[in-house]
Amino acid sequence: MKTIVWDVDDVLNDLTREWFEKEWLVTHPECNISYTQLKSNPPNELLNIDVQDYLRSLDHYRLLYGSKLKPVDEVYSWFKRYGQMYRNIVLTSTPLFYAPYSSEWVLRNFGAWIRSFNFLPSLREESEIFNYDMNKASYLKLFDKVDLFIDDNEKNILEARSIGINCITMPRPWNSDTSTIKEFLYNLITNHL
Ligand SMILES: [Mg+2]
């Protein structure tokens, strides 16, 4: 049975879109950028704010509404149809304080198929947590067998690919994959597994 390693934020959920449309645009009505124009992530330069201010806003949203984030419809439907044909693992970068909430969300929504939650603590100003791994590629080396790694962050994809891991990018405005999520999921099965 093949093993798929999934990212969480902006792959299983729509964190950036929900934060941007329900928090940022609401509190910054003067902002004239739309979600599809977020060509970089983190988007702080586009929004003309300090990266720490961006992270504070995102973390604030996460704590208030993270448990209510909706799974991406198409991805959830994919799991219902194909999930049991593969072993599914999560590898996410998330701040240490949020990892318990993120794991709860993953297992509550995807626990029928995802049985393993792994994370790298994202850097935060106030947290001095050590990291065993500098990036996801280094963490992925721990696994005996990774048949496919899925992420929306092209840096993560390039680093994993550089150590020989089969990867596919979840299409998002800030990466170069211009396919639809439906096309991405079709491609995932037909060309990557
Ligand atoms: Mg992500």
Between helices 73-82 and 99-110, what is the axis angle to 10°?
60
b/e burial code for range 135-161 (CB count within 10 A of at least 16 → b): ebbebbeeeeebebbbbbbbebbebbe
Q: How far is the CA of 9 from the centre of ligand 1 (A)?
A: 4
> How many Cα atoms occupy the beta-carbon half-sphere of 82 within 13 Å?
17
The Cα 193–Cα 183 span in angstroms is 15
Q: How far is the CA of 64 from the centre of ligand 1 (A)?
A: 19
Residue with the bigger pLDDT between 88 and 126: it is 88
pLDDT digits (tens, 9 = 90+) for 163-190: 999 999 999 999 999 999 999 999 998 8
Backbone angle region of 7, left / alpha / beta, with phi > 0 → left and psi within -120 to 50 → alpha: beta
Entry pTM: 0.95
User: For all residues of the chain together, what is the average pLDDT?
Assistant: 95
Q: How far is the CA of 31 from the centre of ligand 1 (A)?
A: 24
Distance 130 CA to ligand 1 centre (A): 21
Q: How far is the CA of 151 from the centre of ligand 1 (A)?
A: 6
Confidence of residue 97 (pLDDT cuts 50, 70, 90): very high
pLDDT (tens digit, 9 = 90+) per residue, 105-149? 999 999 999 999 999 999 888 777 888 988 999 999 999 899 999
From the CA of 11, how far away is ligand 1's center (Å)? Answer: 6
- What does the DSSP 8-state code read for residue 72? P
Residue 114 Cα to ligand 1 midpoint, Å, equals 16
Query: Ligand 1 centre from 7 Cα, in Å?
Result: 6
Chain segment 45-56, per-residue pLDDT in tens: 999 999 999 999
Ligand 1 centroid to residue 85 C-alpha, Å: 23
Distance 190 CA to ligand 1 centre (A): 23
